[in-house]
Amino acid sequence: MKVHTFMDGKNEEFKNSYTRAKSLALKRFGSENRENEIDKLVNFRIRSSDPEKFNRDAQKFRNLIEEAHGDVREKEFLHRLGGMLRGDLQTIFFTYIVSIDSYDKIVSNLFQYININSLLNE
Protein backbone atom coordinates (compact mmCIF):
# COMPACT_ATOMS: atom_id res chain seq x y z
CA MET A 1 0.00 0.00 0.00
CA LYS A 2 1.39 3.40 -0.97
CA VAL A 3 1.61 5.91 1.89
CA HIS A 4 2.38 9.60 1.36
CA THR A 5 3.74 11.91 4.06
CA PHE A 6 4.42 15.61 3.84
CA MET A 7 8.22 15.43 3.73
CA ASP A 8 8.59 12.47 1.35
CA GLY A 9 11.22 13.28 -1.27
CA LYS A 10 11.59 16.93 -0.30
CA ASN A 11 14.95 18.64 -0.63
CA GLU A 12 16.54 20.73 2.14
CA GLU A 13 15.49 24.06 0.60
CA PHE A 14 11.85 22.98 0.61
CA LYS A 15 12.11 21.67 4.18
CA ASN A 16 13.64 24.98 5.31
CA SER A 17 10.86 26.90 3.55
CA TYR A 18 8.29 24.73 5.29
CA THR A 19 9.93 25.36 8.67
CA ARG A 20 9.74 29.12 8.11
CA ALA A 21 6.12 28.84 6.97
CA LYS A 22 5.20 26.77 10.01
CA SER A 23 6.83 29.36 12.27
CA LEU A 24 4.75 32.13 10.67
CA ALA A 25 1.59 30.07 11.03
CA LEU A 26 2.32 29.41 14.70
CA LYS A 27 2.81 33.14 15.33
CA ARG A 28 -0.58 33.71 13.75
CA PHE A 29 -2.26 30.97 15.78
CA GLY A 30 -0.39 31.92 18.96
CA SER A 31 -1.02 28.82 21.05
CA GLU A 32 0.56 25.47 21.86
CA ASN A 33 -2.72 23.72 21.04
CA ARG A 34 -2.50 25.04 17.49
CA GLU A 35 1.11 23.84 17.21
CA ASN A 36 0.00 20.33 18.12
CA GLU A 37 -2.70 20.42 15.45
CA ILE A 38 -0.26 21.66 12.81
CA ASP A 39 2.15 18.86 13.75
CA LYS A 40 -0.69 16.37 13.30
CA LEU A 41 -1.23 17.74 9.80
CA VAL A 42 2.45 17.46 8.91
CA ASN A 43 2.64 13.87 10.07
CA PHE A 44 -0.73 12.83 8.67
CA ARG A 45 -0.67 9.96 6.20
CA ILE A 46 -3.10 9.44 3.38
CA ARG A 47 -3.28 5.91 2.01
CA SER A 48 -4.08 6.28 -1.65
CA SER A 49 -4.48 2.68 -2.80
CA ASP A 50 -7.62 1.87 -0.77
CA PRO A 51 -10.58 4.06 -1.88
CA GLU A 52 -12.57 3.65 1.36
CA LYS A 53 -9.54 4.33 3.52
CA PHE A 54 -8.62 7.26 1.27
CA ASN A 55 -12.04 8.86 1.83
CA ARG A 56 -11.77 8.44 5.60
CA ASP A 57 -8.22 9.86 5.56
CA ALA A 58 -9.32 12.83 3.45
CA GLN A 59 -12.14 13.63 5.89
CA LYS A 60 -9.74 13.41 8.84
CA PHE A 61 -7.32 15.70 7.01
CA ARG A 62 -10.06 18.31 6.46
CA ASN A 63 -11.03 18.07 10.13
CA LEU A 64 -7.41 18.59 11.18
CA ILE A 65 -7.15 21.69 9.00
CA GLU A 66 -10.24 23.11 10.67
CA GLU A 67 -8.74 22.41 14.10
CA ALA A 68 -5.38 23.92 13.15
CA HIS A 69 -6.90 27.02 11.58
CA GLY A 70 -9.62 27.63 14.14
CA ASP A 71 -12.91 28.90 12.74
CA VAL A 72 -12.68 28.14 9.02
CA ARG A 73 -15.33 30.26 7.34
CA GLU A 74 -14.28 29.43 3.78
CA LYS A 75 -16.00 26.06 3.49
CA GLU A 76 -15.48 26.14 -0.26
CA PHE A 77 -11.76 25.79 0.44
CA LEU A 78 -12.38 22.52 2.23
CA HIS A 79 -14.46 21.22 -0.67
CA ARG A 80 -11.73 22.17 -3.14
CA LEU A 81 -9.12 20.64 -0.88
CA GLY A 82 -11.00 17.36 -0.81
CA GLY A 83 -11.01 17.29 -4.60
CA MET A 84 -7.32 18.12 -4.85
CA LEU A 85 -6.02 15.62 -2.28
CA ARG A 86 -5.58 12.98 -4.97
CA GLY A 87 -3.23 15.31 -6.84
CA ASP A 88 -0.60 16.64 -4.49
CA LEU A 89 -1.13 16.56 -0.74
CA GLN A 90 2.23 18.17 -0.01
CA THR A 91 1.61 21.14 -2.31
CA ILE A 92 -1.85 21.71 -0.88
CA PHE A 93 -0.73 21.73 2.73
CA PHE A 94 2.38 23.82 2.10
CA THR A 95 0.39 26.38 0.11
CA TYR A 96 -2.27 26.46 2.80
CA ILE A 97 0.24 27.22 5.55
CA VAL A 98 2.21 29.91 3.70
CA SER A 99 -0.91 31.64 2.34
CA ILE A 100 -3.16 31.28 5.34
CA ASP A 101 -4.13 34.97 5.41
CA SER A 102 -6.09 34.86 2.16
CA TYR A 103 -8.36 32.25 0.61
CA ASP A 104 -7.91 33.69 -2.89
CA LYS A 105 -4.16 33.67 -2.42
CA ILE A 106 -4.26 30.03 -1.31
CA VAL A 107 -6.01 28.95 -4.49
CA SER A 108 -3.90 31.20 -6.73
CA ASN A 109 -0.60 30.02 -5.26
CA LEU A 110 -1.72 26.41 -5.38
CA PHE A 111 -2.51 26.49 -9.08
CA GLN A 112 0.65 28.48 -9.84
CA TYR A 113 2.77 25.93 -7.98
CA ILE A 114 1.07 22.98 -9.67
CA ASN A 115 1.48 24.59 -13.11
CA ILE A 116 5.18 25.27 -12.54
CA ASN A 117 5.76 21.73 -11.27
CA SER A 118 3.94 20.15 -14.19
CA LEU A 119 6.07 22.17 -16.63
CA LEU A 120 9.27 21.11 -14.86
CA ASN A 121 8.21 17.47 -14.87
CA GLU A 122 7.51 17.31 -18.62
Query: In a structure prediction context, what are the per-residue pLDDT tens digits for the chain, which is 122 residues long?
Result: 455 554 555 566 656 665 665 566 556 555 556 666 656 655 555 555 677 776 776 667 667 666 655 555 555 555 555 554 444 455 555 555 544 455 455 555 555 555 554 555 44
Q: Tell me the C-alpha distance between 117 and 102, whole Å.
A: 22
Give the CB-side neighbour count of residue 75, counting CA atoms within 13 A.
0
Q: Within a 10 A sphere around the Cβ of 60, how many other Cβ atoms? A: 14
Q: What is the pTM of this model?
A: 0.35
Q: Within a 10 A sphere around the Cβ of 1, how many other Cβ atoms? A: 7
Q: Tell me the C-alpha distance between 65 and 81, whole Å.
A: 10
* Domain segments of the chain as ranges: 3-121
